[in-house]
Amino acid sequence: MRVTLNRQKNIAYFRLTEYNDADVARLYSLVKHDVEGEFTFEFDKKGRLLGFEVKFASQGLPQNLLAEAEPTRFANPS
């Protein structure tokens, strides 16, 4: 798993496996939940979770996880 963080936009991205943007067949956004932040999940054509994005990451994710994340300018690095 690879975790990247765009500190300026406060967006963390969790890449669970290596894939290309063309592999993403469906996006699902989680609106109501018990954790702060906005979650968007990416699935392939077979319904497997490829990765997910967390907007407002500093509000809902552990600070030690964010401190260890790879810095990036992009929300979803390829």
pTM: 0.83
Residue 31, classed as helix, strand or coil, is coil
Domains of the chain by residue range:
2-71
pLDDT digits (tens, 9 = 90+) for 4-63: 999 999 999 999 999 988 999 999 988 766 677 889 999 999 999 999 999 999 988 999
C-alpha dist (Å) from residue 58 to 12, 64, 67:
9, 10, 10
SS3 label, residue 11: strand
